[in-house]
């Protein structure tokens, strides 16, 4: 660990690639929620680091709020 402290008054995202983190932050800046940011980061990682997933990438997210399951989303390239 580098011992650096990062503070923000806005959006923060941590991924394996800076462009994926930027995509996640922009998703939130444009009115999206953290679920949208996670999807944006996943799609960006499929492009920036394709060796980490199958052709076209993959994303599976399960959204659970309070005591009501609002649904799940799965996206992949076909």
Give pLDDT tens digits along the chain (78 positions): 566 777 778 888 888 899 999 999 999 999 998 889 988 998 898 888 888 776 666 667 776 666 555 555 555 554
Q: How many CB atoms lie within 10 A of CB 68?
A: 8
Classify each residue of 11-21 as buried b or exposed e, where b means 16 or more C-beta atoms within 10 Å of its C-beta.
bebebeeeebb
- SS3 assignment for 34-67: HHHHHHHHHHHHHHHCHHHCCCCCEEEEEEEECC
CA distance 75 to 56: 10
58 near 41, Cβ under 8 Å?
no
pTM above 0.75, yes or no: no
pLDDT score of 72: 54
């Amino acid at each position: 660990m580098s011992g650096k402290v990062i503070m923000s008054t806005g959006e923060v995202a941590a991924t394996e690639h800076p462009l994926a983190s930027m995509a996640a932050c922009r998703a939130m800046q444009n009115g999206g929620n953290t679920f949208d940011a996670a999807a944006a980061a996943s799609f960006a990682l499929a492009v920036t680091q394709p060796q980490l997933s199958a052709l076209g990438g993959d994303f599976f997210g399960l959204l659970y709020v309070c005591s009501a399951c609002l649904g799940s989303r799965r996206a992949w390239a076909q």
